[in-house]
Every structure is written in C-alpha cells, then in structure tokens.
C-alpha cells in the first residue's frame, strides 16, 4: 500500500484520488489555503466542479496539516501554476528530505530570464532548503478531470528520470480506465503539457479564421478543414519548440503532445478564448467581457513567458507561436501567417 498525499482539492487533484483509492492506497487529499470551505463541502456532498462524490476511504484535510505528511511515499502537486510558489513553501516545512513528488500541474516557469520546467523549479528551490535528494516526476496527458472522476477511459504519461520511480507511480495509479505509459523525457513531457494550451487557442480560432466572409452555416460546418490544417502546423511547430528547449521529438507525437492538444483544442477554456480571438475580438476585451473570472491557462502562460519568447525565438521559425503571443501579450488582433 502506497501512502499518497495530494495537495490541491481542485478538479484534477480530487479526480486523481479516484484511481489511487481504487488501487487500495492510503490517500489523503489536502486543500490549499484557498480551499478550507471546499474541504468542508466535499466531506458532506459531491465535489462542486466534478459533480461526483469522492470515495469514502479518502481522507480529507485542511492545509495546516501538510507538514504532518512527511512520511508519505508520494506527494502529488495538483495546484495550478499560480500556486507553485505556495506549494514549495509548504513542502519545504517537511522533515523528510527525500521527498518523492509527482507533478500534475501544467505550466512553465522563468529563472534568470530563462524558460524552465516546473519540476526543475521545484527541485532547485528544494535544494536551497537542504532537500538534495528530492525527486520530481511529472504526469501529463489528455485528461479532463471530470472524465477521470467518472472513470472515462484515458491514457497518461509518467515522466521521470528514474525508472524505478516511474514503475512505483505506474503501479500505484494505473486502472482499467486510467492507462499509463512511462517516459524519461521529463523536459519534453512538461513542455508539451504547457505549450499545447497556447496552440489550442489558435486551433479554437479556426472558425473565425476559415473564411470570414462565408455564411455562418458554412463556417460552422467546414471550419474543420481549417482546424485540421492548424493542428498539423501546430504539431510541427511544437516539435521544433520542444527540441529547441532540450526535449525529444517523439514525445510531441504522444499523449503529452498530440493527445493533449486534441482534447484542449476541441473543448475547454483555451479553445473558447481562441474562438473569440478568431472572431476578431481583442484579448483584453474577450477576457473582460466573456471570461472575466475564468482561468484561461494558455493565455496566462502566454503572458508569463511571451516577453521572453518574443525576444529569444525567431518569428520565421515559430510563426504560429508568434501570432498568438503577439495577440495576447500586445493585445493585437489575431492574424495567421498562412
């Protein structure tokens, strides 16, 4: 039996408890400092985002308890990228210096003007606090949290530099509906998981970009031609991007790249934002008018890393990335270099 603590009781952290419990593990879900009320709520009724009641064997705790779980075999980080600094502060208080961390969060970070993965950031920050032997693995792939919570079949990639760690995680989380693959390409898997959010906005814009003067009934049906072309071009660019930052090409064609891009592009908040941008709405206006309190991870990431990428990369090598970054960061109308 593996002792698992999952930090972050949002949609994904909570859904992830389901395969973990099903495999007979000892699982505790700890809410962040923003989730004390949520922990009370889900101890009595269904999770509000998932509309699913979490398993009875699941233990629920509020964030004050985090440091008591130093002896956990796996510590799962399920906060969004905005919560990573908070997560690092919390686990830095733990007594056990050999933490085995599993990262669900998708995103990237910046250190000394350079783009880095979140797992690298966590490792580095922990080292400063004397955690020299902490391991950070990443799980990425096409996984809408409510789908996992309802045991809809999906597949995911466990990326770790250590094969034994991958095997332990695989044994712990794999179920009939949650199949797992392993990879040693942590960088590639994390870069894919983050940048697919940016490219999925572009694919979401297909309808507006297909032929603006075509009748609505035609556009709403045949924009799929445009989407397919953009998916193809996005994947080609993602390959170049991931290789540029030290990941493997093959990772992009797998679950963390193509698989996750597909899910994000056909539904979800990134492609919804893309739809507004494709219709000609400026980013700031679309956010304020239609998606004010909704987190659009792709746009958030574009704002974080855009200024660096726009300086470091060449527009002729990454035309689609430039198109979307200029649209979000400079609040310009979206146009594609076809």
CA distance 114 to 110: 5
Applying CB under 6 A, does 13 fall inside the site for ligand NAD? yes
Cα 295–301–305 angle (5° rounding)?
155
Member of 4, 5, 8, 173 binding ligand NAD (CB under 6 A): 8
Of 2-10, 174-182, 202-210, 261-269, which segment contacts ligand NAD by CB under 6 A? 2-10
Q: Which residues of 15-33 are buried (b: 16+ CB within 10 A; e: fewer)?
A: bbbbbbbbbebbbbbbbbe
Contact 53, 14 (CB under 8 A): no
DSSP codes of every residue in 169-238: HHHHH--SSEEEEEES-HHHHHHHHHHHHHHHHHHHTHHHHH-TTS-HHHHHHHHHHHHHHHHHHHHHHH
Of 5-13, 119-127, 264-272, 300-308, which segment contacts ligand NAD by CB under 6 A? 5-13
Of 32-40, 124-132, 181-189, 269-277, which segment contacts ligand NAD by CB under 6 A? 32-40
CA distance 114 to 307: 11
Q: Which residues of 308-327 are buried (b: 16+ CB within 10 A; e: fewer)?
A: ebbeebeeeebebbbbbbbb
User: Which CB, 72 or 256, lies closer to ligand NAD?
Assistant: 256
User: Which CB, 48 or 55, lies closer to ligand NAD?
Assistant: 48
User: Which CB, 121 or 219, lies closer to ligand NAD?
Assistant: 121
**Can you say how many angstroms the Cα of residue 318 is from the centroid of all Cα atoms in its chain?**
22
Question: Strand 154-159's sheet: what is its strand order?
Answer: 59-61, 26-30, 3-7, 74-77, 100-103, 135-140, 154-159, 178-183
Applying CB under 6 A, does 10 fall inside the site for ligand NAD? yes
Applying CB under 6 A, does 251 fall inside the site for ligand NAD? no
Minimum distance between the CB of residue 297 and ligand NAD, rounded to whole angstroms? 6
Enter the tokens of residue 174: 């794999």
Of 9-17, 122-130, 216-224, 269-277, which segment contacts ligand NAD by CB under 6 A? 9-17
Per the listing, tokens 């794999």 go with 174
User: Which CB, 178 or 322, lies closer to ligand NAD?
Assistant: 178
Minimum distance between the CB of residue 208 and ligand NAD, rounded to whole angstroms? 25
Applying CB under 6 A, does 49 fall inside the site for ligand NAD? yes
Minimum distance between the CB of residue 10 and ligand NAD, rounded to whole angstroms? 2
Applying CB under 6 A, does 104 fall inside the site for ligand NAD? yes
User: Judging by DSSP bridges, how do beta strands 114-117 and 108-111 pair with one another?
Assistant: antiparallel
Of 137-145, 266-274, 284-292, 305-313, which segment contacts ligand NAD by CB under 6 A? 137-145
Residue ranges in 270-309 that form contacts with ligand NAD under rule CB under 6 A: 295, 297
Size of the site for ligand NAD (CB under 6 A): 29
Residue ranges in 68-97 that form contacts with ligand NAD under rule CB under 6 A: 78-83, 86
How many C-beta atoms lie closer than 10 Å to residue 37's C-beta? Answer: 10
Enter the tokens of residue 92: 């830095």
Of 11-19, 221-229, 239-247, 268-276, which segment contacts ligand NAD by CB under 6 A? 11-19
Among the listed residues 83, 66, 10, 5, the one whose alpha carbon sits nearest the alpha carbon of residue 42:
10
Member of 137, 156, 165, 206 binding ligand NAD (CB under 6 A): 156
Q: Which residues bind ligand NAD (CB under 6 A)?
A: 8-13, 32, 34-35, 49, 78-83, 86, 104-107, 139-141, 143, 145, 156, 295, 297
């Amino acid at each position: 039996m593996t002792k698992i603590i999952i930090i972050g009781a949002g949609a994904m952290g909570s859904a992830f408890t389901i395969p973990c419990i099903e495999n007979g593990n000892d699982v505790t879900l700890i809410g962040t400092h923003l989730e004390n009320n949520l922990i009370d709520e889900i101890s009595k009724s269904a999770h509000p985002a998932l509309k699913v009641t979490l398993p009875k064997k699941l233990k629920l705790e509020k964030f004050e308890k985090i440091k008591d779980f130093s002896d956990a075999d796996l510590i799962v980080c399920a906060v969004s990228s905005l919560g990573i600094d908070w997560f690092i502060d919390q686990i830095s208080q733990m007594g056990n210096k050999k933490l085995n961390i599993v990262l669900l969060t998708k995103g990237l970070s910046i250190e000394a003007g350079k783009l880095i993965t979140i797992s690298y950031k966590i490792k580095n920050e922990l080292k400063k606090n004397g955690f020299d032997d902490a391991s950070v693995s990443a799980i990425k792939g096409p996984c809408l949290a409510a789908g996992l919570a309802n045991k809809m079949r999906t597949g995911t990639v466990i990326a770790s530099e250590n094969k034994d760690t991958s095997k332990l995680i695989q044994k712990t989380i794999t179920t009939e509906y949650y199949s797992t693959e392993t990879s040693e390409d942590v960088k590639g898997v994390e870069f894919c998981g983050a940048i697919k959010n940016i490219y999925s906005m572009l694919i979401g814009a297909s309808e507006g970009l297909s032929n603006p003067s075509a009748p609505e009934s035609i556009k709403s049906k045949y924009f799929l031609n445009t989407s397919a072309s953009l998916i193809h071009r996005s994947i080609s660019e993602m390959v170049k991007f991931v290789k540029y930052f030290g990941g493997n090409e093959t990772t992009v064609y797998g679950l963390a790249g193509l698989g996750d891009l597909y899910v994000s592009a056909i539904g979800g908040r990134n492609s919804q934002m893309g739809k507004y941008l494709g219709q000609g709405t400026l980013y700031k206006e679309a956010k304020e008018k239609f998606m004010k309190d909704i987190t659009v991870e792709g746009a958030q990431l574009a704002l974080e890393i855009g200024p660096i990428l726009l300086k470091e990369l060449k527009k002729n090598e990454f035309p689609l990335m430039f198109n979307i970054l200029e649209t979000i960061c400079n609040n310009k109308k979206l146009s594609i270099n076809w």
